[in-house]
Chains A and B, each alone.
Chain A
Amino acid sequence: MLIKALLIALWAGITGIDLFNGLTHIHRPVVTGVVVGIILGDIRTGLIAGGMLELVWMGMVPLAGAQPPNVVIGGIIGTSFAILSKQDPNVAVGIAVPFALAAQAGITLLFTAFSPVMHKADEYAEKANLKGIDKINYLGLTILFISYFICAFLPIYFGADSAASMVALLPQTFIDGLSVAGGMMPAIGFAILLKIMLKKEYVAFLIVGFILVTYLNLSILAVALLATAIALYDFYANKSKESNAAQKEVMTDGI
């Protein structure tokens, strides 16, 4: 278990950096889920739990710099515990949230603690020392890596067995209830997206997307392509409308 916990912690360190730097998005639950699944020898549960967590976290994005509950720790710990305690992948969501919240608080603290370091950076700038600026940034990366490594290692190495036995003590109805709740959770992610995006003029498109799936059973990609077609049509329709209006203005000016 030590080696598995170390491997997962290493992965958490790498993806923790990716959450803020690189942003190749290997840190999203849909990716970390399968990696944790490979490490723990249960790819299928990893995929399913990762996919579920992905949907929950879809709306929790760092808008305007605000920190959402930590997706890296939430995804990795949620998937690990779902696999280790041999529970329904839906249960991963319930386990993930407390850890994601704790990590969110930790990151906020880290970003506060790093503020004074900027005065060192000012000194380097004064002396035109570009190497010094490099050093400060590499220091930030190192601290990020270590924080995530520890955050993932401790609960998985020390908590997995006790978590499994604790889960075993819970009544089955409770666990089934968590699973039902897990199925409902994506609604929260989608609601956050709606709060940010939904304006009256766009309500129609929300309904169209819903209908395309409920009644026509289209895949998400098909829906996305169809929506792109509508957006393209709308773009050119508006463009020609604008240039027509511009032409008319010129003509009336002429008369």
Chain B
Amino acid sequence: MASNTYEDLSKPKVINKKDLNKMAWRSLLLQASFNYERMQAAGWLYSLAPGLKKIHKNKNDLSKSMKSHMEFFNTHPFLVTFIMGIVIAMEEAKENIDSIRGIKIATMGPLGGIGDALFWLTLLPISAGIGASLAIDGNVAGPIVFLLIFNIVHFGLRFGLMHYGYKTGVSAIAKLKQGTKFVSHGASIIGLTVVGALIASYINLNTTLVIKAGKASVALQADVLDKVMPKMLPFAYTMLMYYLIKKGLSPVKLIGLTVVIGVVGKYIGIL
């Protein structure tokens, strides 16, 4: 069908490293026009623009390509450059528009999932946990260390994946599927170990309750809980929150509940 193929099917190599970097820079604005109808579509087209302009000298082809890239699109904003690399390689090869669309749809979901696991659930807790631990001690290095760790990985991947995606083109898809399992498995191991450490480090919850039995008085925290296991209350409270969240309570309700527990606990003198 004519509408799914480009008019000008000549395939000169026009994309160079500079173009790829330009598109990777533009990908920083992927969500500038985010909306619930097309999500990242217009930002995605904005990022691809330098490449598309070079590839499609034929105005009808450029219009066709632009229209297809205005369709709904949503993936992880860091890993998007990988899809961009593949898609620009396909555009340069003047592939059928349907297969380009297919690749976009096939990759945007899994990459969204990997990105969430990798960045929001592993890199952010680790780097921000380190930064926050310094900041809470009043150390100005906290924010700086956080930004350095986070962005070395962020920009390394953003630019690296752009070139990698372009180079490997379509064959990359198969490789990606193999790697997904290992990446999410490894990210889960590191992420959960760090969450365990964060629970022990950053939740402050001690009881001031003192049990008086005749002349003897027992401070619940120092004499009982700490001897059984340090940080028992923070762990227990996290588990309670985890249970309630699984029950379907929203984070906002839990924040409200925590405020109530803190204030009431203080009033009756057990916290």
Contact = CB atoms under 8 A, between A and B. Distances in A.
B78 interface: yes
Contacts of A195: 242, 245-246
13 contacts: A20-B31, A24-B154, A34-B142, A44-B138, A58-B129, A97-B255, A125-B69, A130-B66, A133-B42, A180-B205, A210-B199, A221-B130, A224-B130
B45 interface: yes
A164 interface: no
A229 to B, nearest CB: 10
Interface in A19-58: 20-26, 28, 30-31, 33-34, 43-44, 47-48, 50-52, 54-55, 58
The size class of the interface chain B forms with chain A is 35 or more
B237 A187 contact: yes
Contacts of A179: 262
B43 A137 contact: yes
A206 B196 contact: yes
Nearest to A53: B132
B217 interface: no
Interface residues of A, number: 111
Given A205-B193, A230-B189, A127 B36 contact: no
Contacts of B251: 59-60, 68-69, 188, 192
B31 to A, nearest CB: 4
Given A26-B147, A115-B35, A235-B182, A61 B121 contact: yes
Contact of B140 (A34, A121, A127, A220): A34
B112 interface: yes
A240 to B, nearest CB: 13
**Main SS class of interface, B:** helix
Nearest to A212: B197
Interface string B44-64: 011001001100000110110
A1 B241 CA distance: 40
B225 interface: no
A134 B46 contact: yes
B51 to A, nearest CB: 11
Contacts of B70: 118, 121-122, 125
Interface stretch (A6-14, A169-177, A245-253): A169-177
Interface in A130-178: 130, 133-134, 136-141, 144, 173-174, 176-178
Contact of B241 (A115, A176, A187): A187
Contacts of A208: 193, 196
A23 B259 CA distance: 31
Interface in B230-253: 230-231, 234-235, 237-238, 240-242, 244-246, 251-252
Contact of B245 (A28, A48, A176, A192): A192
Contact of B186 (A44, A125, A231): A231
Interface in B119-169: 120-121, 124-126, 128-136, 138-140, 142-143, 146-147, 150-151, 154
- Which of A28, A101, A194, A230 is the most central at the interface, judged by chain B CB atoms within 10 Å of its CB? A194
B82 to A, nearest CB: 16
A235 to B, nearest CB: 6
B186 A234 contact: yes
B32 interface: yes
B172 interface: no
Nearest to B204: A183
B73 to A, nearest CB: 11
A75 B143 CA distance: 14
Nearest to A23: B77
B106 interface: no
A183 B251 CA distance: 16
Contacts of B262: 177-184
Contacts of A20: 31-32, 34, 77
B49 A130 contact: yes
Interface stretch (B3-11, B14-22, B93-101, B263-271): B263-271
